[in-house]
Structure 1
């Protein structure tokens, strides 16, 4: 089971993920399923909402998440740049 499938199971449905992330429709999540990954900007929020049970690395392996975490922690942006 890949990261997006784990997230669907955790939240209960594609619609539930869309709701908690403030997306326009579950169809956005369907696109992620087809693509096999989550866009990088949503990964940290999913990781946070799942208490790190589903990590960014599981949602999108094309990003160097170790670097992102190190950069954010050094610059005080540990919560998605907020």
Structure 2
């Protein structure tokens, strides 16, 4: 199953492209990818960037929980 950060990277086209959209280095995005989650304070920004194609629930379920419970 694709993680939320993997989906965001795919939608952006690459880790570098996602970093550029968020004004972050590719290394920062790589760190997110390695951990499998986006930091909680960045999830809504990524969600908005892709018009909800990837949700904060997918990006960091430990922070935002199960979307069916929202």
Q: TM-score, normalised by structure 2?
A: 0.86
Are residue 10 (structure 1) and residue 11 (structure 2) matched?
Answer: yes
Gaps of 5+ in 2: none
Gaps of 5+ in 1: 71-82
The number of residues matched between the two structures is: 66
Q: TM-score, normalised by structure 1?
A: 0.74
What RMSD in Å do the two structures reach over aligned CA positions? 1.7
CA distance in 1: counterparts of 2:63 and 2:9, whole angstroms: 21
CA distance in 1: counterparts of 2:23 and 2:56, whole angstroms: 18
- State the structure with more CA Rg: 1
More helix by share: 2
